[in-house]
Amino acid sequence: MATERDLEGEIDQAVKKIGTLPPAERPIYGKQVNELKKKLTAEYESALAAEKERALERSLASAPPGRDAAGEAGAAGPTPRLHANAKIIVWPTSSR
């Protein structure tokens, strides 16, 4: 599978080729290159958005019980913790 860098190189070569073409062929070829760039850019952005969505889903799935990905208390309620100095259980308050 081609990487982003490979595709950029191919597009750059296609753009540079425009200058070597006869003047009558340049507009048609240039239009095709621009359409290809738009299509590849749209596909790349779509794939990037999908990957960001998958990363968010993985992050939310791995959040500790009772906490969301940001560490806030979730539907399961606050998680008690042992205070280091007092050795007592401290229940977090709802406001920080």
Give the tens place of pLDDT for each residue, 35-88: 988 988 888 889 889 999 998 888 877 766 655 555 555 555 556 565 556 555
Residues 45 and 89 in one domain: no
Count of the separate structural domains present in the chain: 2
Q: How do residues 7-28 score in pLDDT, each as one tens digit? A: 788 888 888 898 899 999 999 9
CB-based contact 63:69 (threshold 8 Å) = yes
Please check whether residues 9 and 55 belong to one and the same domain.
yes
Domain range spanning residue 42? 4-62
Identify the band that residue 32 occupies on the pLDDT scale cut at 50, 70 and 90: very high
Assess whether 33 and 51 both reside in one domain: yes
**Shared domain check, 53 and 32:** yes
* Same domain (yes/no): 53, 96: no
- Could you write out the DSSP letters of every residue in 42-70? HHHHHHHHHHHHHHHHHHHHTSPTTB-TT
Query: Higher model confidence: residue 6 or residue 75?
Result: 6
Residues 12, 43 within the same domain:
yes
